Amino acid sequence: MCIKKSVGNGGANESSDVKTIQLLLNINIAKLAPITRLVVDGGIGQKTIAAIEAFQSQVMGLTRPDGRVDPDGGTLAGLRAGLTGGLSADALQGIMIHAAAAHIDKYAQPLADEMARNRIDTPLRQAHFLAQVGHESGELRYSEEIASGEAYEGRKDLGNTQPGDGKRFKGRGLIQLTGRTNYTHYGEARGKDYTTDATAKLLATDPVVAVDVSCWFWTTRDLNGFADKDDILTITKRINGGTNGLDDRKEKLVRAKFFLKV
């Protein structure tokens, strides 16, 4: 479930849960006049409670709204029913609840566009892709490996045969691509050269490229097929080489399925 504890009157009101409900209320805001969009700050207040009550009375038809959303309750189900499907900025924020608003604004449209272009085009495929992207990028915080890349110097298995290749072809992208061979193959697939010092950096600095290279990695590893089978374990192993962060990936998948209405 996308919230762990109750939100609103008498609820535990944990910050991430409150943010989730604020996002869901904003998605449904057109039905809640005269309520206006909430600030998604994770803090419970009278405006958020009033919006919950308005949803319960105006949308659900409750005569005695209690201003509370429970993890397995009807109000949460009603809020989810108001989701339109597809990846909006609000939905992306719901999936990656700790992501900075600036990062959501930066990547929401490129993610929607490039997933469609790369045939990550069903809600289940998108849910798995976004769960992995969310984990690998620290919820869109990182598009470049923190380490210098020096450790990859001379790695012939990565195609790093020229001096400086380790740093030049360090991990970049929301799902990080590493090594001269991978950069070369990605460029060939796109009809571009990503092997110069300047163009290699685009995999991290250009949000469209940072997303597209992640989609390319996904499709060239045939991960759509495993997503279609709802096989997060195999997908994680294909991306990570092991199962590091599996619990976090699973948690993000639950959230992605909720917001994408899988």
CA-CA distances (angstroms) from residue 150 to 128, 160, 170, 203, 230?
A: 31, 11, 8, 18, 37
- pLDDT higher than 90, residue 262: yes
Determine the pLDDT at residue 198. Answer: 95
Inter-residue contact 2 to 255 (CB < 8 Å): yes
Q: For the chain, what is the mean pLDDT?
A: 96
206 burial via Cβ count (<10 Å: 0-12, 13-18, 19+): middle
Q: Are 107 and 208 in contact (CB under 8 A)?
A: no
Q: Please check whether residues 34 and 103 belong to one and the same domain.
A: no
Give the Å distances, CA to CA, from 101 to 90, 106, 260. Answer: 10, 9, 19
Q: Is residue 1 part of a domain?
A: no
DSSP H helical ranges for 28-164: 46-54, 74-81, 89-95, 101-117, 123-136
User: For a pLDDT cut of 90, what percent of the chain falls above it?
Assistant: 95
Of 44, 66, 81, the residue that ends a domain is 81
Closest CA to 209 of 111, 137, 139: 111
Is the predicted pLDDT of residue 245 greater than 90, yes or no? yes
CB 194 within 8 A of CB 180: no
Q: Which domain holds residue 196?
A: 84-262
Same domain, 206 and 235: yes
Mean pLDDT of 187-202: 97
- The predicted model gives 145-150 an average pLDDT of 92
Averaged pLDDT, 46-51: 97
Q: What's the number of domains the chain is made of?
A: 2
Considering 64, 81, 98, which residue would you say is the last residue of a domain?
81
Residue where a domain stops, chosen among 57, 81, 105: 81
| 67 occurs within a structural domain | yes
**Does 56 share its domain with 125?**
no
Residue 218 has pLDDT above 90, yes or no: yes
Q: What is the pLDDT of residue 235?
A: 98
Q: Say what the pTM is.
A: 0.95
Largest CA distance in the chain: 72
Question: Is residue 176 a part of any domain in this protein?
Answer: yes
Q: Is pLDDT at 9 greater than 90 in this prediction?
A: yes
pLDDT by residue (tens digit) across 72-128?
999 999 999 999 888 999 999 999 999 999 999 999 999 999 999 999 999 999 999
- Residue 123 belongs to a domain with what CATH number? 1.10.530.10
Considering the domain architecture, whether residues 69 and 121 belong to the same structural domain is answered as: no
141 shares its domain with 211? yes
Q: What percent of the chain has pLDDT over 70?
A: 100
Same domain, 114 and 210: yes
**Whether residue 249 sits in one domain with residue 136:** yes
